[in-house]
């Protein structure tokens, strides 16, 4: 899940980014309306958190431009303008939620989670064979065993399970799990997949994380239960 925080006040932006990253999301920040629109045009966000009083334009203008696109991400307005008029105007113009500053981070996080769930109502728990990922409690269970994952490992597994049976390239995985400050190599994905395999697959006869030759990785119940495909060491990296 990748989020964009649009906020010109650095202290609030840092606070939001840190908190949301701590909750396991990939987060980018934009300090102006123009920067926000550039981000939204170039990346695929799952949610935008939008301040209204920006130095170069009104946040509602940003919202209007986002809503002019065919498929736009959900937008949560976070503003000091808490009057009924402002809230109604924001929601009328297509915001999905409106939170007034000052706010408690736990409330923001609850609303972020609710908005991210909205498009995928039945997917609070993801399941592949005996592997369950609880998106709300951020818990992973295989068989009867609870498995501890680092935030990035959890992010990769969640993204794969949401796209069960669909081969995902390393680039797609990086774009969904790392934020734009990450400019390293996509083969970091291979390292994380190795960690994930050691935690969720190695001790179990049925290997769920599959290597898709020439593409990347996919999670699915294997056709031949005991076989694990070779690591893609000789493959060309994207």
List of residues contacting Ca ion (CB under 5 A)? 8, 51, 53
Between residues 28 and 51, which has the closer beta carbon with respect to Ca ion?
51
Between residues 51 and 153, which has the closer beta carbon with respect to Ca ion?
51
Determine how many CB atoms are found less than 10 A away from the CB of residue 169: 16
Please state the closest distance from residue 72 (CB atom) to Ca ion, in A.
21
Q: What are phi and psi of 114, to 5 degrees?
A: -65, -40
Please state the closest distance from residue 12 (CB atom) to Ca ion, in A.
8
Please state the closest distance from residue 7 (CB atom) to Ca ion, in A.
6
Please state the closest distance from residue 40 (CB atom) to Ca ion, in A.
18
Across 103-165, the runs of DSSP E, i.e. the strands, are: 125-128, 131-134, 139-142, 145-147
Q: What are phi and psi of 127, to 5 degrees?
A: -135, 130
Between residues 57 and 109, which has the closer beta carbon with respect to Ca ion?
57
Query: Quick one: 27 exposed, middle or buried, by C-beta within 10 A (0-12, 13-18, 19+)?
Result: buried
Q: Token digits for 226?
A: 């005991």
Between residues 79 and 210, which has the closer beta carbon with respect to Ca ion?
79
């Amino acid at each position: 899940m990748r989020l964009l925080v649009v906020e010109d006040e650095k202290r609030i932006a840092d606070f939001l980014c840190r908190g949301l990253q701590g909750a396991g999301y990939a987060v980018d920040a934009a300090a102006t309306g123009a920067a926000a629109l550039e981000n939204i045009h170039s990346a695929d966000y799952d949610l935008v958190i939008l301040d209204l009083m920006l130095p170069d334009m009104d946040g509602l203008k940003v919202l209007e431009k986002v809503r002019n696109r065919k498929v736009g991400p959900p937008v949560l307005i976070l503003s000091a303008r808490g009057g009924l008029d402002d809230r109604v105007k924001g929601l009328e113009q297509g915001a999905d939620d409106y939170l007034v500053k000052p706010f408690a981070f736990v409330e923001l996080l609850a609303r972020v989670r609710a908005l991210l769930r909205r498009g995928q109502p039945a997917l609070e728990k993801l399941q592949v064979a005996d592997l369950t990922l609880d998106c709300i409690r951020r818990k992973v269970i295989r068989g009867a065993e609870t498995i501890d994952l680092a935030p990035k490992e959890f992010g990769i597994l969640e993204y794969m399970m949401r796209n069960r049976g669909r081969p995902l390239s390393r680039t797609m995985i990086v774009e969904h799990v790392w934020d734009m400050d990450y400019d390293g190599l996509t083969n970091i994905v291979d390292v994380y997949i190795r960690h994930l395999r050691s935690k969720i697959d190695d001790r179990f006869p049925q290997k769920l994380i599959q290597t898709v030759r020439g593409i990347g990785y996919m999670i699915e119940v294997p056709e031949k239960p005991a076989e694990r495909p070779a690591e893609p060491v000789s493959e060309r990296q994207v």
